[in-house]
Amino acid sequence: MNHLVSIDQLSQTELEEILDKARLFEEQPNRDLLKNKVVATLFFEPSTRTRLSFETAVNRLGGRVIGFSDAKSSSTSKGESLKDTISMVSNYADLIVMRHFLEGAALYASELNRVPIVNAGDGANQHPSQTLLDLYSIRKTQGTLYDRTVVMVGDLKYGRTVHSLISGLSNYRPRFIFVAPEELALPEEYKEYCRSHHLPFEETSDFSSEVIAEADILYMTRVQRERFVDMEEYERVKDVYRLTADMLSPAKEHMKILHPLPRVNEISTDVDDTKFAYFVQQAGNGLFVRQSIICHVLGIDVK
Amino acid sequence: MNHLVSIDQLSQTELEEILDKARLFEEQPNRDLLKNKVVATLFFEPSTRTRLSFETAVNRLGGRVIGFSDAKSSSTSKGESLKDTISMVSNYADLIVMRHFLEGAALYASELNRVPIVNAGDGANQHPSQTLLDLYSIRKTQGTLYDRTVVMVGDLKYGRTVHSLISGLSNYRPRFIFVAPEELALPEEYKEYCRSHHLPFEETSDFSSEVIAEADILYMTRVQRERFVDMEEYERVKDVYRLTADMLSPAKEHMKILHPLPRVNEISTDVDDTKFAYFVQQAGNGLFVRQSIICHVLGIDVK
Amino acid sequence: MNHLVSIDQLSQTELEEILDKARLFEEQPNRDLLKNKVVATLFFEPSTRTRLSFETAVNRLGGRVIGFSDAKSSSTSKGESLKDTISMVSNYADLIVMRHFLEGAALYASELNRVPIVNAGDGANQHPSQTLLDLYSIRKTQGTLYDRTVVMVGDLKYGRTVHSLISGLSNYRPRFIFVAPEELALPEEYKEYCRSHHLPFEETSDFSSEVIAEADILYMTRVQRERFVDMEEYERVKDVYRLTADMLSPAKEHMKILHPLPRVNEISTDVDDTKFAYFVQQAGNGLFVRQSIICHVLGIDVK
């Protein structure tokens, strides 16, 4: 039985197969591949974007959706264990897409091995469908996944999508520039990962025009107030990692700005109309990538 | 691209075309016109009746629904802008039906012009599908939209449906009688609208049998406690604008009582079994009118 | 018009017909019997398991679902009466499945007689689809409904499923052993019911190995803290009615443990891997039984 719990579990071949099939869905998203299939979307914490994107994927494939968008209206609020909830839903659904606030929840669910599990985010840990849509967006806008200089900006400490993208790009000779305030710097384990995989990287807290000039991909993330112990520090840095249109003049022609969304203030809206903005289309790619993921774990052939 | 943001944007021809096609849906609501279409119902504030009615409309047309019923489980709670939410959902859905607590939200969304927008209520402003179902109900029960005496009772100050219905009837030579307590009287701008469109009207705070005797349509609305600054005033008026069965003896044979629902106390349940009560069927007409609206904005031909 | 409000309204023939047809759905749950049908699931209080199970049933039959999972996002929060809510939804749906926190709510809704009503639980009163899936599970595991010794354990005072199962088994010569703390003992009216229907029963507060040895079916229920006036009493009894694997050595070979779920602590997880555990499959049977119930009330033939 196939699950998608972590980006690391995919071989390079599998990963590229998922991206290749996503392109077929981009050409034609409406396909009757899930007839008679029921997919459960279990969101133990809310995530509108991810949920709507998965539910659109299922609907455009002709499947049906059951589920909940918030743990407050689930049996969990009556004290039911995750194991029992997953066992119960496995009786009804052919596939479970789950978002959980605890790290490891999706792995645990997959080990019950009742129906295929797709991890739609577990705490600060993994969010593989986001990473796959990031990769899809990089390949689509750059023509290749190889040899990209990826500048990652903002919260590199807690940013789950940042950590997964480092791993997802590891076979494609990336060069990273990590731009973050000290409090939110990339944890040592991910730097160690880069070293052991021979992925060159630089670190800086200075979101400078030199750094922007280097980027093929500028990957922005939210600097969340609640991550800071020291509110003065937050007030000091919050505007430093904010991207505005006037900062983009040194950018390469083909540079694209990605963001896992939702954004709050970290990308000024005057960036939206520049040729560099790609984060809305990036989210749109999520539909095709998720259709591809669903077919991958269910072993459904796509042509 | 077609949107339905306000009743005023429709020409008389368009308005009547929507009503005519609604009649076809009343004859046969189950039609496969939305195959492969996904409709998003984005309810930034809850409105069960409107949401269920739109979702039934989509389902009976063979389309699929995604969405949320409350902003608390949406990205908005993470600080996402309306623009970003609409842009994101436009990637997934072919049509957005939205309810928002702020006036102008639907207009703003429509100006992004990504996918057609249907306004399902924006603050105290507009709720065009309600007005169209009111008009449909008037035409169906009276045989015509022309020359009706419409008595409007209750909260004429904040009642969005009252304001839109005045506008929706303006081409059909209506006569209005506005019955409201002073604190909830029709705002001057709508009286000015009546004058400039040569729509005769009278105003009174006396919900008398003479007034009821005049009505072809008796349009009741809720007098909500929270609209009153002065609680004593509320206690004084709340029962004055309550309709009971014994008040209906002077009514014309063909008179019908409408109400945008939900009702609380303003129509006594002993009215329900009289021949004058039409508010439940009125809500039922909402299904057919909304099917017609959806096909109108999507440019789908109905026969 | 058919409704399913209470298990008592079914004749023995009808009850067995529903179970027989459920077996056909177990063989093939995906059937296009509800094409063009809309089913409303109105959950005035949350119940994930029951809701997901009904919604899966509708989806696998090719129908469409509208509804709400919590009264907080329904018109009820605006003060709408149950009558108005049911009347409104009857305009849209072909069938209403409803869960309500008040006893008698489903009966009241069924008396409006607008569309068929299926009671998915009304307060402490009835939950007939649960009883039918309990009976289905008993018949399936025991080969018969007749002459079973059913040991019921835990909260027999408020346990709605316990009361309904006594009634549901009354034609099948059951013998009951009721195991409960004094505060949660079976109410006198149900004991009187047993006497008047000549159903032999014993009562004890001792969850002993002798009792377990007698059981064909061991029906466990939750002992909820909020049921106790005296917290010391709760602390004293809560572990007494907890089933662990080591207590199962005297059990009959074919004995099966049922539980209406969700469970919290009353069945230890070390029971899950014993051959006696059946509560997960029991919940799974809910899908087939609910498909059968829906077809029964809608008068749809199943072959």
pLDDT of B268 strictly over 70 = yes
Q: How confident is the model at residue C213 (pLDDT cuts 50, 70, 90)?
A: very high
Number of domains in chain C: 2
> Smallest Cα–Cα separation from A121: which of A51, A57, A72?
A51
Please name the member of C30, C69, C283 whose beta carbon is closest to the beta carbon of A91. Answer: C283
Q: Is A99 annotated as a binding residue?
A: yes
C122 and C256 share one domain: no
How far apart are the C-alpha atoms of B246 and B229, rounded to whole Å? 31
B193 and B121 share one domain: no
pLDDT tens for each residue of C221-259: 988 777 777 888 888 887 889 999 999 999 999 999 999
How far from B194 is each of B153, B200, B220, CA to CA, in Å? 17, 7, 19
How far apart are the C-alpha atoms of C23 and C132, rounded to whole Å? 12
Q: Check: CB of residue A251 under 8 Å from CB of residue A213.
A: yes
Q: Cβ-count burial of C26 within 10 angstroms (0-12 exposed, 13-18 middle, 19+ buried)?
A: middle
Q: How confident is the model at residue A91 (pLDDT cuts 50, 70, 90)?
A: very high
How far apart are the C-alpha atoms of C46 and A73, rounded to whole Å? 6
pLDDT tens for each residue of C76-115: 667 789 999 999 999 999 999 999 999 999 999 999 999 9
C152 and C167 share one domain: yes
**B261 located within any domain:** yes
Considering only CB atoms, which chain B residues are within 8 Å of A136? Answer: none
Q: Check: CB of residue A262 under 8 Å from CB of residue B80.
A: yes
Please name the member of B59, B263, B281 whose beta carbon is closest to the beta carbon of C38. Answer: B59
B137 and B253 share one domain: yes
The pLDDT of residue A233 is 81
pLDDT tens for each residue of C118-140: 999 998 788 999 999 999 999 99
Nearby residues of B35 by Cβ (< 8 Å), 6 or more positions away: B62, B63
Of A49-63, B172-186, B256-270, C226-240, the one with minimum mean pLDDT is: C226-240
Neighbours of A236 (CB within 10 A): 12
pLDDT of B285 strictly over 80 = yes
Q: Is C236 annotated as a binding residue?
A: no
How many A/C residue pairs have CB atoms within 8 Å? 65
A150 and A88 share one domain: no
Q: How confident is the model at residue A237 (pLDDT cuts 50, 70, 90)?
A: confident
How far apart are the C-alpha atoms of B29 and A170, rounded to whole Å? 54
Q: Check: CB of residue A95 under 8 Å from CB of residue A37.
A: yes
How far apart are the C-alpha atoms of C170 and C193, rounded to whole Å? 9
Q: Do A48 and B75 touch (CB under 8 A)?
A: yes
Q: How confident is the model at residue B65 (pLDDT cuts 50, 70, 90)?
A: very high
pLDDT of A76 strictly over 70 = no
Range of the domain at C72: 7-127+286-298
B74 and B184 share one domain: no
C123 and C259 share one domain: no
Which own/partner contact pairs does B158-163 have at CB distance under 8 Å and 24+ positions apart?
Answer: B158/B124, B158/B184, B158/B224, B158/B227, B159/B221, B159/B222, B159/B260, B160/B121, B160/B123, B160/B124, B160/B125, B160/B126, B160/B127, B160/B130, B161/B127, B161/B130, B161/B131, B161/B134, B161/B221, B161/B260, B162/B186, B162/B219, B162/B221, B163/B190
Q: Report the share of chain C in percent with pLDDT over 70.
A: 98
Q: What does the block give as tokens for C231?
A: 């917290």
Q: Do B264 and C38 touch (CB under 8 A)?
A: no
pLDDT tens for each residue of B91-100: 999 999 999 9
How far apart are the C-alpha atoms of C117 and C41, rounded to whole Å? 10
pLDDT of B35 strictly over 90 = yes
Average pLDDT for C246-275? 96
Mean pLDDT of chain C: 94
Q: Cβ-count burial of B143 within 10 angstroms (0-12 exposed, 13-18 middle, 19+ buried)?
A: exposed
**B232 located within any domain:** yes
Q: Is A64 annotated as a binding residue?
A: no
Neighbours of B183 (CB within 10 A): 16
The pLDDT of residue A132 is 98
The pLDDT of residue A75 is 60
Chains that touch B (3 or more CB pairs under 8 A): A, C
pTM confidence score = 0.95
Nearby residues of B87 by Cβ (< 8 Å), 6 or more positions away: A280, B112, B114
C173 and C186 share one domain: yes
Chosen from C48, C50, C222 to mutate, greatest number of chain A CBs within 10 A: C48
Q: How confident is the model at residue A162 (pLDDT cuts 50, 70, 90)?
A: very high
pLDDT tens for each residue of C9-22: 999 999 999 999 99
Report which of residues B224 and C140 the model is more confident about: C140
Q: Is A282 annotated as a binding residue?
A: no
Give me the interface pTM, i.e. the ipTM. Answer: 0.94
Q: How confident is the model at residue B264 (pLDDT cuts 50, 70, 90)?
A: confident
**B165 located within any domain:** yes
**B2 located within any domain:** no
Q: Check: CB of residue C11 under 8 Å from CB of residue C19.
A: no
**C1 located within any domain:** no
Which own/partner contact pairs does C117-120 have at CB distance under 8 Å and 24+ positions apart?
Answer: C117/C3, C117/C4, C117/C5, C117/C86, C117/C297, C118/C3, C118/C4, C118/C54, C118/C293, C118/C294, C118/C297, C119/C3, C119/C4, C119/C5, C119/C6, C120/C41, C120/C43, C120/C47, C120/C50, C120/C51, C120/C54
Average pLDDT for C251-273? 95
Angle, vertex CA C122, rays to CA C118 and CA C127, nearest 5: 60
**B1 located within any domain:** no
Q: How confident is the model at residue B154 (pLDDT cuts 50, 70, 90)?
A: very high
Average pLDDT for B52-75? 90
C38 and C178 share one domain: no
pLDDT of B75 strictly over 80 = no
**B303 located within any domain:** no
| Plot region of B101 (φ>0 → left; ψ -120 to 50 → alpha; else → beta) | alpha
Q: Do C36 and B60 touch (CB under 8 A)?
A: yes
A134 and A279 share one domain: yes
The pLDDT of residue C226 is 73
Q: Which residues of C172-202 are buried (b: 16+ CB within 10 A; e: fewer)?
A: bebbbbbbbbebbbbeeebbebbeeeebebe
Considering only CB atoms, which chain C residues are within 8 Å of B60? Answer: 36, 38, 64
User: Can you state the angle between helices A128-142 and A160-168, rounded to 10 degrees?
Assistant: 60
Residue with tokens 């119940």: C47
Mean pLDDT of chain A: 94
How far apart are the C-alpha atoms of B109 and C74, rounded to whole Å? 25
Strand extents, DSSP E, B45-116: 64-68, 95-100
pLDDT tens for each residue of C162-175: 999 999 999 999 99
Phi, psi of B118 (to 5 degrees): -115, 120
Report which of residues A265 and C156 the model is more confident about: C156
A78 and A110 share one domain: yes
User: Can you state the angle between helices A279-298 and A12-27, rounded to 10 degrees?
Assistant: 110
* Domain harbouring C162, CATH code: 3.40.50.1370
Q: How far is A12 from chain C (nearest CA, A)?
A: 36
Provide, for chain A, the percentages of residues in helix, strand and coil under a 3-state DSSP scheme, each rounded to the nearest 5.
45, 15, 40
Q: Which residues, in sequence order, are bridge partners of residue C40?
A: C66, C96
Residue of B nearest to C91 (CA): B284
**B200 located within any domain:** yes
Considering only CB atoms, which chain B residues are within 8 Å of A39? Answer: none
Number of helices followed by number of strands (H, E) in chain A: 10, 9
C139 and C47 share one domain: no
The pLDDT of residue B74 is 61
